[in-house]
A and B are shown apart, each in its own frame.
Chain A
Amino acid sequence: MAILVLAEHDNQTIKAATLNTVAAAAKLSGEIHVLVAGANCAAAASEAAKIAGVAKVRVSDAAHYESHTAENVAALVVALVANEVAGYSHILAPSTANGKNVAPRVAALLDVAQISDVTGIESADTFVRPIYAGNAMATVKSSDAVKVLTVRTTAFEAAAMLANEGGAASIEPLAAGLDLGLTTLKGRELTKSARPELGAAKIIVSGGRGLGSGENYHKLLEPLADALGAALGASRAAVDAGYVPNDYQVGQTGKIVAPQLYIAVGISGAIQHLAGMKDSKVIVAINKDPEAPIFQVADYGLVGDLFEVAPELTSALA
């Protein structure tokens, strides 16, 4: 039996989340296949072939996979599972917006359960996952023939990219399915930023309601993030108040991050926010309220006025 990993990619390059998902797949036993479904995605497929541990890349190149809509991609995956001679015991996708959109659809079409946000693999059928915003960890055992998992990327160290040209894995084309024609992508508005991606950043500077306005957020945190080469994040309160776009949100319902360094500025530390960042290696909290819950998880806490501390920190690092 083989293991199928659904690649996260933009047709040109493989997203980092795929590497963590392959690493999770490597904890199971079986040959690892990566599915790259896209349009003009040969570049992404050859990059996938260089991921350490991958035996085979299946690439399905068709216009109707361009935007990775769940309906077409799930149908392709189900057809692949039905036709693969070796058979697939597991299907893994990263727990990204895209993975969470597609994986349950695949599972339902296969009439199996889906296991979300897996943080630990105990055996071929037993997995650990957070529930209640990470306030409890459940160990669940699946009785289904095929296990469909989404993987919390921060829980698995990324698989390496092999340096050799062409990579170790074979690349095999996979016939595209029919376009179901249920969904049309009308447009995407992606936040343009020269800073690292929130999910992959080594350092994150994150701001909360304590900043008081979007203007203050930009004025105080952007220079700090630039001094550190950091990504920018925010609490739900800051997003709801309109300081920054929603894709900045770190927390239970936003992004789950685990950078080397997380600097929380003016964030009180609601449970839902902590759920999204408490696995960071080092947490720094800057807040004027000494009783703020964020200090209970911070390695280094600085009680003070962020309007003085943040610029001071920026100039100390510059």
Chain B
Amino acid sequence: MKILVPVKRVVDYNVKVRVKADGTGVDIANVKMSMNPFDEIAVEEAVRLREAGIATEVVAVSCGVTACQETLRAAMAIGADRGILVETDVELQPLAVAKLLKALCDKEQPTVVIGGKQAIDDDSNQTGQMLAALMGWPQATFASKVTLGDGVATVMREIDGGLETLEIKLPAVVTTDLRLNEPRYATLPNIMKAKKKPLDTVKPADLGVDIAPRLATLKVAEPPKRSAGVRVADVAQLVDKLKNEAKVI
């Protein structure tokens, strides 16, 4: 069983991004880039399934600029067997990424695609669902537990108000939520080993996919700032403020 894991290169989780003064975007020059945390969880899950003898191969895929090679190497350091970079400098939106992944799924024929539920840069939360739609496959988004069986997967999902368990036919797309697993730290020997693993590069045109953006970003602005209020000395003063000043209780 082959598992395909899409991974995205994003601004690191701990970086507080700044909006550019000209309003054209956020400033990502010279900031630390990392693998999207949800994708890291996806890689970990796929590697665990291979280690458990359920999956035979884990293929990491990244779409974007040349530097996405680093993200693929990071996935291979966690344990992915090989990487595929779909290289382009064009801004990729979720629909375009889903189409690129569809082309790769047609070629690679994975049994399951496990990806992050959303990327922490554009916060779209779309690509997995879109890929499932384009493939005509079932989807199990926001997974907190994945069990692969014979021709079916059982997935526990985080939904509003609790959890639900779906049984989905394979092949399928699963997207990860935070509590699916805790990704391991890549060890130095594994980082070194990852450098020798195969990494293929293709271009969107090779896959015959139109990646033209459908959305134009007109501007990017700072969110409305919330200013700090006052410090209250004790509970009595707090209750008084809430009752008589804010009038919310």
Residues of A at the B interface (CB closer than 8 Å) are 67, 69-71, 74, 96-98, 100-109, 111-117, 126, 130-144, 181-191, 197, 199, 203, 228, 236, 239-240, 245-247, 252-253, 255, 260-261, 271, 278, 281-284, 295-304, 309, 312-313, 316-317
Query: Judging by beta carbons under 8 Å apart, are B134 and A108 in contact?
Result: yes
Which of B48-56, B69-77, B216-224 is near enough to bind chain A? B216-224
* B residues near A104, Cβ cutoff 8 Å: 94, 125-130, 133
A285 to B140, CA, bound (A): 37
Q: Which residues from chain B contact A114 at a C-beta distance below 8 Å?
A: 94-95, 124, 126, 130
Q: Is the CB of A278 within 8 A of B226?
A: yes
State whether A141 and B215 are in contact (beta carbons under 8 Å apart), knowing that A133-B123, A189-B162 are contacts in the complex: yes
Contact call A317/B239, Cβ cutoff below 8 A: yes
Cross-interface CB contact of A137 among B133, B179, B222, B241, cutoff 8 Å: B222
B149 CB → nearest A CB, Å: 12
Contact B169 A182 (CB under 8 A): yes
Question: Which of A108, A135, A253 is most buried by chain B, counting CB atoms within 10 A of its CB?
Answer: A108
CB distance from B74 to the nearest CB of A (A): 21
B125 & A186 in contact (Cβ 8 Å cutoff) = no
Collect the chain B residues with CB atoms within 8 Å of residue A228's CB: 249
Question: In the complex, what residues of B have CB within 8 A of residue A284's CB?
Answer: 238, 242
Known: A107-B95, A114-B94, A183-B168. 15 other contacts (CB 8 A): A100-B141, A104-B125, A113-B95, A126-B218, A135-B17, A136-B19, A139-B221, A182-B138, A185-B166, A191-B161, A203-B248, A240-B178, A260-B248, A295-B228, A301-B231
Q: Is the CB of A282 within 8 A of B246?
A: yes
Task: Give 28 pairs: A residue, B residue, CB < 8 Å, sorted on A.
Answer: A101-B141, A104-B94, A104-B129, A105-B133, A105-B139, A111-B95, A114-B126, A115-B215, A116-B124, A131-B122, A132-B120, A136-B26, A138-B217, A139-B221, A181-B169, A182-B137, A183-B169, A184-B168, A186-B154, A188-B163, A188-B164, A228-B249, A246-B158, A253-B118, A255-B160, A302-B232, A316-B235, A316-B236
| CA gap between A32 and B5 in the complex, in Å | 39
For this complex, into which size category does the number of interface residues on chain B fall? 35 or more
B230 in the interface (beta carbon within 8 A)? yes
Q: A70-B129, A97-B159, A182-B138 are in contact. Are A261 and B246 (CB under 8 A)?
A: yes
Residues of A within 8 A of B230 (CB): 299-301
A-B pairs under 8 A by CB, number: 249
The CA of A182 and the CA of B139, in the complex, are separated in Å by 9
Q: Which residues in A have their C-beta under 8 angstroms from that of B93?
A: 113
Residue of B nearest to A69 (CB): B166
Q: In the complex, A61→B213 CA distance in Å?
A: 37
Q: A69-B166, A302-B232 are in contact. Are A316 and B126 (CB under 8 A)?
A: no
- Given A137-B221, A236-B178, A296-B228: A113 and B215 interface contact (C-beta under 8 Å): yes
Q: Once bound together, how far apart are the Cα atoms of A302 and B229, in whole Å?
A: 11
Report whether B130 and A105 are in contact in the complex, using a CB–CB cutoff of 8 Å.
yes
A258 vs chain B, min Cβ distance (A) = 12
Q: Give CA–CA (A30, B157) in the complex, Å.
A: 36
Indicate if the CB atoms of A187 and B165 lie closer than 8 Å. yes
Closest to A140 in B: B215
Q: Given A139-B217, A252-B120 in contact, is the A134-B223 Cβ separation under 8 Å?
A: yes
In the complex, chain B residues whose CB is within 8 Å of the CB of A298: 228-229
Say whether A105 contacts B239, CB under 8 Å: no
- Chain B residues whose C-beta falls within 8 Å of the C-beta of A116 in the assembled complex: 123-126
A132 near B169 with CB under 8 A, answer no
Which of B131, B137, B226 has most A Cβ within 10 Å?
A: B226
Q: A113-B95, A247-B161 are in contact. Are A313 and B220 (CB under 8 A)?
A: no
Contact of A247 among B162, B178, B218, B239 (CB under 8 A): B162
- CB of A246 within 8 A of CB of B144, answer yes
Residue of A with least CB distance to B11 = A132
CB contacts (< 8 Å) of A189 on chain B: these are: 162-164
Q: Is B114 among interface residues, defined by CB-CB distance under 8 A?
A: no
When distances are taken between beta carbons in the complex, the residues of chain A under 8 Å from B218 are 126, 139-141
Q: Which residues from chain A contact B140 at a C-beta distance below 8 Å?
A: 183
Tell me which residues across on chain B come within 8 A of A282, comparing CB atoms: 242, 246, 248
Contact: B166 with A100, CB < 8 Å? no
Residue-by-residue, is B150-176 near A (CB-CB < 8 Å gives 1, otherwise 0)?
A: 000010011111111111110010000
